[in-house]
Structures are given as structure tokens and as C-alpha cells.
Structure 1
């Protein structure tokens, strides 16, 4: 049996036995955006992690448990929408667990125990969250299928932490090798001055974007890393989705994914890698044996076309640059650091409860190709009937409307009540979304590219 599953079952037994009285917090009235009838419970888990839950006066028996809820969830429009529809909602924060994904997963089960100690047994406990919270929700589905009835991972890194960070290494390694070989820009071993390092990388890439050669190599790095071909401007506004043949539009989108918008890929690649390296005691990523020419060949067609055309326009030799990448000294991983990320979660695809994923096609942090990896594993294990994967045409990380999120949650509740999957086609999802907040839904039919750094 998987050791994460063994540990989860052990904790589940402890939780089922009851929460120590001293750790319980009584329910009490609370102020929630848009609701005056909710009651809340709050406190700290055994490791000091804060938790908060809100339950409506007319509870439908479902509770959503979210990694990040206690960090402002009571003022979220989604929380108001959920409470209005009868859901209880709550969860923890990542302030203590950070990139210790194993602890974050265990904390969701412990938090559910706190909720049930205050309000009684939930009929349907649903792990739900965004970003790292999406990865944790998928981890909860794998580790605690006996405690949770379902999971809704949104914009989560479902390639798993090891695969996700290997792919980020590929992108940054390509930029460094082809554009900044002599610059003091770290790929791994991120120094303590994270803001300074982020700014150095962003400034360097912005400078490269001003030349034809820089644009060509930026496009190559982004294609290798499977970044989206559209993004957000610095003020957070989405750029138009470029036509497949619009070389400049596709490249501009890839540049914005790397270095633009409120949460640029390079900024997160620096800050989170620093955190992970500190927790893991070394570098958990490697590119030994990676064939970057093959990765380019498997990139989205419009990105391959953009790279080829931009290289021609700049007068550069694409095969020569791919040869430089092939000949460049590789980055080895620290085996102990890899084991640290493995202990967090390695997705097996063995789904024992229903899972509904939501991912943006223009997400620069949790790239959409990772959804293909998760779905492929479920098909390999023969449990794909428990999985539905949906896609939203939106740029940026976790940029969903309230209605789009509520639609996914309502579909899952229907699945749990009936035992059968309801319609999750884009037309239906968009109608449900618009009925919530009057904003047109953006669900669409989409087939993600094959994730190029699956692990194991």
C-alpha cells in the first residue's frame, strides 16, 4: 500500500475517534459577505495551522474544505454564493505547511474533523481548492477517499510537484542557456534575495524581448515549457486570444506568460523554487537525459510555427540552438530533495472517489498540459469513469468568475446525490455559470497537449 495512503488511513482513524476537547472551537455567529445567518467555527490544528468554517442556517449536508479558506475566505463572493445555496465551506491556510504538500493534505482531513466536531457529520465532504489548493485537493482524493466523498481541483498542478518543477526547470534552463549564458541568473540554488533575483530575471527577459533574436529564443523556451500563447498585461487585463497563424500575437502571449501580468511565471519559478529548496534541503529538479528538440516537436502547432518563423525572421539557426541545448551541461537533482517532493504527492491515477477538474487554457502557473497527465493516469488505471475534466478560456492563474466555480461545485453535488455524472459539456456549464452571477461563462471544449515531463 502507498505510504501516503497508509498515513492517511492512520490519521483518519484518529479523526474518526474524535477531536480532543481542548482542540475544539464552539460554533458562533459570524459575519460573512452577503449572509447574516451563517455560523462559524475557527481555531488551530495540531501543527498551529489556522482553520475556519462557515455553515448556513439551511445546510444541504455538503461541506467544502479548501487549503486557503482561512486566509480571507469569509469575504469571498464565492463563499456568499455557496452559503446562499446551502453549502458549508471552510478550510485552512498554507502559512505553516507551505510546500510541505503531505502536511497540507493531512491538514485538510484534520480540518474536516474540526468542522464535524462543531457541526455534526457532513453527508458530503468535498476537497476543493485553487492553485496549490487544487494540487492538495487532488492529493486528498488519493490519500483520504474514506473521509472525503469527492474533490474539485481548480487550476492545480496536476502533473505533480516533481513533474511540475522539472518542467519549470526546462523553461528557465533554456532561457539561461540561449539568452544569458554569462549572466548571474540562477536556474536552481535560488539565493535569499528572492525579490532581487526575480527582478533580475524579469528585467533580463524584458530586454531580450526588444530584439528579434530575443523574441525567437523566448518563444522557444516557452514552447518547451508548454506555456500558453496568450496572457495578462501588467494591470491584469487579458490580451486577445491570438489566431494560430498570428506569430507576433502568439509570441507576445508567451512573453507575457513568462514575464508579464500580476503573477509572472518567472517570478513564481524563483520564489517557490527557493522555498522548496529550503524545505527539501537541495534541488529536486533535473534535466539529465531530456531531449529539448523532441519537446519542441511535441509543442502546440501554433507555437512550433511561431518558433520557426521567428527564427527565420531573426536570421538564427534553430537546429544550432537546439544543438547548444543538447550540449549544455545538465542540471542533476539531489536525490533526497526528490524524495521530499515525492512524499508530498505523486499522482497514481487510482481514483476511488469522483474528481472534477477545472483549468484555464491560458494559465501560466499550472499549465494546462498537466491536466493531460492526470487524465492519462486515470485511464491507465481504469478509473477514468470517476473523472471529469473541464476547461475555461481564461488567461492568468485561477482567473475564474464566481459563476464558473459555482457551476463546477453544483455539478459535483449532483454527481454525489445521484451516483451518476450530470452533463458537464461547455454549453451546460456556461448556462449554469451565467445563472449564478449574470456573467457569461467561458467553458469550452479543449484537448490539452501531452504533458512533456510526467513523473514517474
Structure 2
């Protein structure tokens, strides 16, 4: 079954597409922090400006500035300037004396603004310091897509920034992201919509992306009603690196395979595919084509490398399905190719695994539905390969959801980074126990730092091998 083209939507299908697009917009806005539209009362004043490419910037400076400037990189969504992860974090940081700044990125292109974000952040730093003077210390902070921007700043910012704090960062980069998402989408299309042509890449419009999201989500919803369908949903979830722990639920037991699948289905039912397809459309806009492919992928080998393989095998056995046959079908019909120029552009603009110039502390929730925690494993391997492993520390919060950090967890991580920058040593400041003590001592909104080792990211190919 070709998985790249389909006839134009009928009027009925267009209505479905528009409904899915509304779901996509809701998903984007609820997954990301709200833009900083108004100055915080804890700030002495709000500074604003516009950069040469049309990007806007904002800065908040407290009355008693402690000399540290935090440069915040916001996540995927509307290109509106933000200078903190959440309003509550902004208020607390200003109360502690930090100055805050951040840019919108270039508003004239895709929301996947990686071709301008790093440049705009450095330009914002120049503009703000021209107004308030040279900081004693500058630290970069980034969240989600902004976590990838933040990793780029940590890679290139020596002499301009002193350290970086990443939150739920998309640090594996755009091509890894699009590839493992393609594997999940392709699995749903091939196994749950047999005989149908489903457009999975090279979307012409946002409505096309929304139509695909609606079609795939509908297939998953229908499949959840049978054991065979649930087994195949689990297979797609494994390729998506989707956590088996959803909001408002207790974590399923280690061998509660059906319970795990039910909570993976929760994520699908909440509209994750609308976010995935909308993100793909934005990335393709930004990089000039499709940067994902599955031709040559061995899906049996891909599943074997997933931490969720035991769950998938158990559910297939219980359903009386032949897993090997499904994996052969996926492998034999995997024909999607990438646009080499788009892959090169994504590698240049939308990756950050080439090393570090300054210390970087990354924090991640253990059950992140949009940016899987396994991305930290992929990123750490690249940093170590570059010889910069000593500059990187990673910390984990036991919680469901994307960027679902408390204010206390964020501030404690910032203080741990400051210890590394100030002393030249991490010591034990970034260990789970130390971060938990530090966060709890703030008396704010609680913390859940835990020892954790993320599994390998299930992706199965490298951007260098198109």
C-alpha cells in the first residue's frame, strides 16, 4: 500500500479535517506554556524590542537584580516572545532576583522556527544587555522544542552563556522525531486501514495534516474494541515510544500488558496524532520537504530494540495474531523515501548532538507523551561521542505528561546548574536526592525527582544514512 498520496478530500472529509485541525490547535495550546502577554508585578519593568528579522523580544528585570540573566527558549507553537516556562516560575524567579528574557523567533515562517531560533536568541541577548548592562552570569533555559534550541545554545554559546538548563527537550532532533513518528503512523495505516491510501508525509496544507490525523485517530478508536486491534495499537505505540502511563491513572504493573495498552490508548484518544501530524507539517515547511523515510527499515529488528517488545508480544499471543507476519508486512511495504535536501537542512538547523561548550542540565518527566524521555538517551550518547559527557547531567521527574514540572523542580534544577557554573564541579548537586531535597526545601509546590535510566529510543536509523 503506498503511504504517501491520496485523492483530494471530499466536502465531508474536509469537515473532518477542519474538526481535527481544531483538535490540533487545542493540543498545541494545552501542551505548551501560555505566552507571556503581560509584565509580572514582581518585575520593575517590561522591556520589549524587535529584531532585524521581525522577531520580537521581551525582558523582565526585578528591582533587586542578582546579576544573573536567564535567556528562555520557548517551545513549538505560536511565535510569541516568552521569557519563562510558566507564569508561576516567572514570578518565583523574579522574586529571587533573576532577570528574564526571550524572543518569539522569526514570525514569518513555520512554527518550527529552528532556522532562526538560535540566531534570534543571541540577538535578544545583545539587545537586552544593551539595555540593562552586562550580566554577571547568563544562563540559557529551554523547554520542549526550545529545549533543542537550548542545546544548540549550549553547544555554540561558550563566551556568551555560562550554562544551560533544558526541560523536556526535543534533543534527539527533528529527523529522529519524524522517523519514529512515521513508524507509528505507518503501522496504524498499514495494519488498521488495509487497502487505503493514507498521506503520511509531504503535506501541502495544515488541513491535509489534520485530515490524516483524523483518519488515523479514527482507526485507533475503532481498533480499541477488539483484542487484535489492541495488540496492533500496542505495536504502533512501541514505535512511537509512547509511555504506558497516562494522566489521572495509577501506573500499571510491570506485566499488566492490557493495562499498559489501555493507558497508551488514553494518549491516542486525547489527540496525540493531531499534534504529531501538525508538527510534521510545520517541520516540512521549515526544512523544505520530507526529512523522514522508512524504506529499508526492518520492523522486526526495530521492535526487538524497544523496551515495549514484551508487551507487544504478549498482547499478540493473547489475541491469536501472528506478530511475525505483521512485521514482515510492514518491512516489505516500507517504501517511503526522504528528500535528501530536507534531511540535510534538518541536520543543520534542527539537531544539537555535536557537543557542548558549557555545562548543560537536562530534566525530563519519565512519562512524556510528546517528547519521549528516551530522547535523553539518544542525546547523551551523541554528547559522549563528542567527548563532552562531563559537561552533561540529566535529571528525571516521576510524572506523566509533557513538561509537567512544578515550580520547585524547575528552580531546584536552576540552582544545581548555578552550583556547577560557580564551582566548576557538579559534585552531587544534580543527583536525584540532592535535587529532591533542594526542591522540597523551597516550600512551593512539591517535587518528584527519582533515580531513572531511560531506555533506548526506538528509531532504527540515522540521518547520516538516508
Q: State the TM bucket, normalised to the shorter chain.
A: 0.7 to 0.9
Q: 1:33 to 1:41 in 2, by over 3 A?
A: closer
> The residue matched to 1:242 in structure 2 has which SS?
coil
Q: CA deviation at 1:32?
A: 4.1
Q: CA deviation at 1:283?
A: 1.0
Deviations 1:178-229 (A, max 9, x none): 1113335321133521444433322221111121111100101111232211
Alignment partner, residue 146 of structure 1: 159
Deviations 1:206-261 (A, max 9, x none): 111121111100101111232211123xxxxx32211111112211222223x133
Q: Is the 8 A contact 1:130 1:156 kept in 2?
A: yes
> The residue matched to 1:448 in structure 2 has which SS?
coil
- What is the alpha-carbon distance in structure 2 between the residues aligned to residue 169 and residue 197 of structure 1? 12
- Could you state the TM-score of these two structures normalised by the residue count of structure 1? 0.86
Q: Structure 2: any 5+ residue segments left out of the alignment?
A: 1-36, 75-79
Q: Is the 8 A contact 1:349 1:379 kept in 2?
A: no
User: Aligned runs of 1:38-53 on 2, under 5 Å?
Assistant: 38-53=44-59
Are 2:134 and 1:127 aligned?
no
- What is the alpha-carbon distance in structure 2 between the residues aligned to residue 168 and residue 110 of structure 1? 33
Deviations 1:18-61 (A, max 9, x none): xxxxxxxxxxxx974451x5222111111111110111122222
- What is the alpha-carbon distance in structure 2 between the residues aligned to residue 326 and residue 195 of structure 1? 26
Are 2:230 and 1:215 aligned?
yes
Q: Is the 8 A contact 2:40 2:60 kept in 1?
A: no
Are 2:300 and 1:293 aligned?
yes
- What is the alpha-carbon distance in structure 1 between the residues aligned to residue 441 and residue 198 of structure 2? 48
Alignment partner, residue 267 of structure 1: 274
- What is the alpha-carbon distance in structure 1 between the residues aligned to residue 388 and residue 288 of structure 2? 36
> The residue matched to 1:420 in structure 2 has which SS?
coil
Q: CA deviation at 1:121?
A: 0.7
Alignment partner, residue 341 of structure 1: 346
Q: Is the 8 A contact 2:45 2:60 kept in 1?
A: yes
> The residue matched to 2:228 in structure 1 has which SS?
helix
Q: Is the 8 A contact 1:402 1:437 kept in 2?
A: no
Q: Is the 8 A contact 2:57 2:101 kept in 1?
A: yes
User: Matched residue pairs, number?
Assistant: 416
Deviations 1:46-80 (A, max 9, x none): 11111101111222221111123824859701001
Alignment partner, residue 397 of structure 2: 392
Q: CA deviation at 1:359?
A: 1.0
Q: CA deviation at 1:108?
A: 0.7
> The residue matched to 1:38 in structure 2 has which SS?
strand
Deviations 1:273-306 (A, max 9, x none): 1122233332111112222111211111xx2222
User: Aligned runs of 1:13-412 on 2, under 5 Å?
Assistant: 32-33=39-40, 35=42, 37-68=43-74, 70-71=81-82, 73=84, 76-94=87-105, 95-96=107-108, 98-192=111-205, 193=207, 194-232=209-247, 238-257=248-267, 259-261=268-270, 264-300=271-307, 303-412=308-417
- What is the alpha-carbon distance in structure 1 between the residues aligned to residue 53 and residue 114 of structure 2? 14
- Could you state the TM-score of these two structures normalised by the residue count of structure 2? 0.84
Q: 1:339 to 1:31 in 2, by over 3 A?
A: closer
Q: CA deviation at 1:355?
A: 0.4
- What is the alpha-carbon distance in structure 2 between the residues aligned to residue 109 and residue 266 of structure 1? 33
Q: Is the 8 A contact 1:247 1:306 kept in 2?
A: yes
> The residue matched to 2:455 in structure 1 has which SS?
coil
- What is the alpha-carbon distance in structure 2 between the residues aligned to residue 445 and residue 382 of structure 1? 24
Please, which moves more after superposition, 367-376 or 342-351?
342-351
Q: Is the 8 A contact 1:59 1:88 kept in 2?
A: yes
Q: CA deviation at 1:452?
A: 3.4
Q: CA deviation at 1:352?
A: 1.6
The structure showing larger relative contact order (alpha-carbon pairs under 8 Å, at least 6 residues apart) is 2
> The residue matched to 1:450 in structure 2 has which SS?
coil
Q: CA deviation at 1:356?
A: 0.4
Alignment partner, residue 25 of structure 1: none
- What is the alpha-carbon distance in structure 2 between the residues aligned to residue 339 and residue 346 of structure 1? 11
> The residue matched to 2:243 in structure 1 has which SS?
coil
- What is the alpha-carbon distance in structure 1 between the residues aligned to residue 240 and residue 246 of structure 2? 15
Superposition CA RMSD, Å: 2.1
> The residue matched to 1:400 in structure 2 has which SS?
coil
Alignment partner, residue 4 of structure 1: none
Q: Is the 8 A contact 2:112 2:283 kept in 1?
A: yes
